[in-house]
Amino acid sequence: MTYIPHTDADRAAMLEAIGVESLDALFDAVPEDARFPTLDLPTGLSEMEVAWELSGLANANINTNEYAMFLGAGVYNHFIPSVVNHVLLRGEFYTAYTPYQPEMSQGTLQAIFEYQSMMCVLTGMEVANASHYDGATSLAEAVTLANAHFRGKRSKVILSPSVHPQYRAVTRTYHQGTDLKFVGDKGNATLPDLIDMLDGDTAMLVVSYPNFFGQIDEFTGLATAVHDAGALLCLVADPIMLGLFKTPGELGADIVVGEGQPLGIPMSFGGPHLGFFATREKLVRKIAGRIVGETVDKHGRRAYVMTLRPREQDIKREKATSNICTNQGLMALAACVYLSVMGKHGLRKVAELSYHKAHYAAEQVNALDQYSVEMGKPFFREFVVQCPLPVPHINDYLLEEWGIIGGYDLGQDYPDRENQMLLALTELNTKDEIDALVAALQNVDAIQQHADARQKEQTA
């Protein structure tokens, strides 16, 4: 679209229309000493000089092209085929907003429809939306759905303590000020403990698959117990793991939510990411976010259109089912392209490589003196290591002396897990990287000396 600036005549006509003599008069309400303050700004730079400056700042950051990465805890370093970005950067997708006019938006609508279809297959659910901001908001919206499903007549939501701590925090914040009660996650409740909490006031029970510690819990009988209580079962799932293990649908889940970042989306220092959301058809009208359906036009040609829930549903304030309206369309497109390119066999291969590399690493770390790995439960690509020293000390040593980004400090969220590290592995971790991590961890004396030296520097 050609940009046509206002002419002097245009500006004069507008000023006359509002009864103002000049542009300066528009600022009379602003105190004179605040209108044009003196700014202590450096001399301007050319485009070339700015590029140099920004490159220097970027090079100061640690990145996974130069450092081995063993940090997960919700965001994972997976390989992204180049075709994903090539499609995302097409102007038709990159600049598109909500496709209100289907006759003008068939490409965007079809991409969303295909994404929804693949997420249904991946999760074993009947319907999916596109989408939420991240896994945390997806879980919060699942609680909203459960509350709407029971029309507010059930007020208890049972959260497993092994659901991602940030997901639980966002969910509680999301629903503060409502009549909903969250129970189960303020302690060390086991799955049998959570089942014992079920009663006639329970709207939903939430568990994680795998849990935050990377472990795969035994869910046999869980869905039956939840449904016998008249409640809904929500699984917070890892989409990569679903390429190898049973779907949540097979496990009896009513709602499946999670973080779609591993599906072709960069880590990007925490976002933007993708919250996926899938459920049973009986709950489809309670879903927030976009839903696209396939139909035919008057000529019998295949066509796509947003369906079941108009945007107006979200602007009814307290009567709305959700305050989420706009979706993460570009991120959903990334996941759509990734899943299309990988296919079920490629996704399974990614899951298998992550699984086997994690188990190789766990065996090697568990064999070290002064370290132990929680091997009591099956796990996918993450595992917990009991360490002889505080995790921050170990991570500082790994980073500065070995060029390794270490694991997540579980003591930040679980006081009873002091000195426990959560390590994550993906298909991008090589055997050499794993062996280097093991070699670094076994130097406990060197780690302590490094920590002591850092302490002296800080107190000097």
- Give the pair of three-digit tokens for residue 345: 């066999």
Q: How far is CA 91 from CA 18, 105, 304, 417, in A?
A: 39, 13, 20, 48
Give the distance, in angstroms, between the CA of residue 296 and the centroid of all CA atoms in the same chain: 34
User: 391-402 and 431-441 helices cross at what angle (nearest 10)?
Assistant: 120
Q: What is the pLDDT at residue 295?
A: 94
Contact of 422 with 407, CB cutoff 8 Å: yes
222 Cβ contact list (under 8 Å, min separation 6): 191, 195, 205, 207, 233, 251, 252
Low-confidence ranges of the chain (pLDDT < 50): 1
Q: In 19-164, where does DSSP find H-type helix? A: 32-35, 47-59, 82-88, 91-94, 106-123, 135-149
Task: For residues 350 and 441, give the distance between their C-alpha atoms in angstroms, rounded to a whole number.
Answer: 26
CB 256 within 8 A of CB 244: no
Task: Give me the pLDDT at residue 1, please.
Answer: 47
Q: What is the pLDDT of residue 336?
A: 97
pTM of the entire predicted model = 0.89
Separation of alpha carbons 208 and 197, rounded Å: 17
Q: Are the C-beta atoms of 364 and 440 separated by less than 8 Å?
A: no
Report the distance separating Cα 383 and Cα 406, nearest Å.
Answer: 13
* Count of residues making up the chain: 460
- Give dist(CA 315, CA 240) in Å, integer: 35
Helix (H) or strand (E) holding 275: strand 275-279
Q: Following DSSP, what letter does each residue of 124-174 receive, concatenated?
A: T-SEE-B-BSSHHHHHHHHHHHHHHHTTTS--EEEE-TTS-HHHHHHHHHH
pLDDT for residue 3: 65
Q: Would you say 434 and 357 are in contact if contact means Cβ atoms under 8 Å apart?
A: yes
364 Cβ contact list (under 8 Å, min separation 6) = 434, 435, 438
411: Cβ contacts below 8 Å, ≥ 6 apart: 390, 391, 417, 418, 419, 420
Taking alpha carbons only, the member of 285, 220, 283 closest to residue 254 is: 283
Alpha carbon distance 22, 35 (integer Å):
16
Partners of 151 in the β-ladder: none
Exposure class string for 18-54: b at 16+ Cβ within 10 A, else e: eeeeeeeeeeeeeeeeeeeeeeeeeeeeeeeeeeeee
**Which domains, from first to last, does the chain contain?**
68-78+343-459 (3.90.1150.10), 82-339 (3.40.640.10)
CA distances in angstroms from 399 to 62, 267, 347, 388, 432, listed in the order given? 9, 19, 30, 18, 16
Beta-carbon count within 10 A of 398 CB: 23
Between the alpha carbon of residue 100 and those of residues 104, 157, 291, 443, the distances in Å are: 9, 35, 12, 60
Summary count for the chain: helices (H), strands (E): 14, 15
pLDDT at residue 325, as a whole number: 64
d(CA 139, CA 323): 14
Specify the pLDDT at position 6: 86
C-alpha atoms less than 13 angstroms from C-alpha of 255 in its C-beta half-sphere: 33
